[in-house]
Amino acid sequence: MIKIASISNNYGKTFDGVGDFARVQNINYPKDINATVYSAECTYEASTLKRFFSIGMIQAIYKVIRDLKYSDYDVVMVEYPFVEWNPMILIPLTMLSKRIKKRGFFVLSLHEYNRVNYLRKKVIEKICKLSDLVFVSDENIEEAVKQYCKRTKIRQIPTNLYNDRAIHENIEKKENIYVYFGLVNSSKAFDEMLEAWDIFNREGDKKLYILSGTPLGDIERKHKGIEYIYNGSDYEIITKMREAQVCFLPVKPYVDSKNTTFKTASISGCICVGAFCDEYKKLDYVVNIENYNPKSIISALEKISNLSECEILKRIESAIEFGKKYTPQNTSEVVANEIRMMVGK
């Protein structure tokens, strides 16, 4: 049995992609990997000052240091960046790295580098130097940080939720069923999507499932054909996504490899509409739009409406095949294999 002290901000919270990732990864490890969680909560709504001076994660890391006296951890793994910004985090992390290396390994699981500010880059570079192994999300991050660490490994970001029963049930796609899944915030062109939907569904003969953990009031009354499901279960969400033929992904500035909803939509067999990174534009089941104005969104939807049944089926199959690579079980196995090789168990 390999024992891991898993450190992340906002563990298991859907509003924090990194914290949510940590939960999904931990619960899908193979049986020979056991993770103990250390975390603290800090929301994105907290003021800059509060996030900068927050000590929640500092306290969590000192708890790991104390527990090392009594726990036989093989690995300490830090999921970073935190929502907290306090650069003093380097003090306990340096201490923790020294303590665990007396009998084990210090691992950084890095989710972002290129888009963070100068101070956070410096903190990340220092943590990389403390680490025996750094997991990264893509080749761009790996290229940027490999000079600071001896060993790197790309581990993909998996689907943000998964339900085996819903994935394997016999659910037929239905024409004129659409879906939006995710939080509603400033990183989404949600209002533009709704404006386009009102025009596209002027006759009211189409249905849009909105699956969200964001309270949206009386949205069903304001727009035709919308069914709003608040905080649905994993089973309910996957079932609705598998029923839908098209998934809206109005992510700003574009959908890239860190977007987990895209992978959930893919494994559910959805044709995906949104602005995509260069890598994803090449996928045959996505319909890329250059900007999020209602006219562009409507044009994308009309393009899908004009596809033949054979073309629709081909895109659905392509989406599912792509999505299978990003099941939580598969991505956790990649991490587990790398840790096994490092630990030697």
For the purposes of burial, counting CB atoms within 10 Å of the CB of 117, is it exposed (0-12), middle (13-18) or buried (19 or more)?
exposed
According to CATH, the superfamily of the domain at 2-158+327-343 is Glycogen Phosphorylase B; (3.40.50.2000)
Fold of domain 164-324: Rossmann fold (3.40.50)
User: How is residue 256 annotated by DSSP?
Assistant: -
Cα 106 → chain centroid: 23
Q: Which two tokens stand for residue 50?
A: 């509060």
Domain ranges across the chain? 2-158+327-343, 164-324
Measure the CA angle with vertex 51, ends 47 and 55; round to 5°: 140
Considering the entire predicted model, what is its pTM? 0.80
Q: Is the dihedral of CA 24, 262, 156, 91 positive or negative?
A: negative
Report pLDDT for 54.
Answer: 94
Strands (E), the chain: 2-7, 33-38, 75-80, 105-110, 133-136, 152-154, 177-181, 207-212, 226-230, 246-249, 271-274, 286-288
pLDDT per residue rounded down to tens, the chain (345 residues)? 999 999 999 999 878 889 989 999 999 999 999 999 999 999 888 898 999 999 999 999 999 999 999 999 999 999 999 999 999 999 999 999 999 999 999 999 999 998 889 999 999 999 999 999 999 998 889 999 999 998 999 998 888 778 788 888 888 888 899 999 998 988 899 999 999 999 999 999 999 999 998 999 999 999 999 999 998 998 999 999 999 999 999 999 999 988 889 999 999 999 999 999 999 999 999 999 989 999 999 999 999 999 999 999 999 999 999 999 898 888 999 999 999 999 987
Bond from prior residue into 81 cis (ω within 30 degrees of 0)? yes
DSSP 58-88: HHHHHHHHHHTTT---SEEEEEE--S---GG
Q: Which residue has the tokens 């007396």?
A: 102
273 contacts 301 by C-beta, under 8 angstroms: yes
- Judge if 2-158+327-343 and 164-324 fold alike in CATH terms: yes
